[in-house]
Amino acid sequence: MHRIVNLTPHELTFIGSDGTTIARIPPSGIVARVASTSKQIDVLDGIPVFSTEFGEVVELPDPEEDTVYVASTLVAQAAARAGRTDVFSPAEAILDEEGRVIGCRGLQLPV
């Protein structure tokens, strides 16, 4: 059995194909993110255009045995590029009638 640590600011709700809730994982209080810097490089029809450079992942705990982390897709991708295999992101969002995310089908591991 794995310990699943939610590194997002939202509760994660996993919903099975039959519509039942499989699991709910509360936020851990730590929010992993990818550091970034942006600078305006142009204006398009009055709208500023920015160039964004992404850097290191911050607030990502060190690997622990039998522990997986769930973060944003951007964080999971950056962690995978750094050789981490324990950082996942939510997979297959489930939306309500108004288009709001109410859960997901599972976890994804970037390749």
Q: Confirm if 90 and 69 have CB atoms less than 8 A apart.
A: no
CA 64 to chain centre: 19
Integer Cα distance of 59 and 72 in angstroms: 12
* Segments making up each domain of the chain, as ranges: 3-108
Residue pLDDT, tens place only, 55-106: 999 999 999 999 999 999 999 999 999 999 999 999 999 999 999 999 999 9
Residue 111 has pLDDT above 90, yes or no: no
pTM of the predicted structure, to 2 decimals:
0.88
Q: pLDDT averaged over the chain?
A: 96
Q: Above pLDDT 90, what percent of the chain?
A: 98
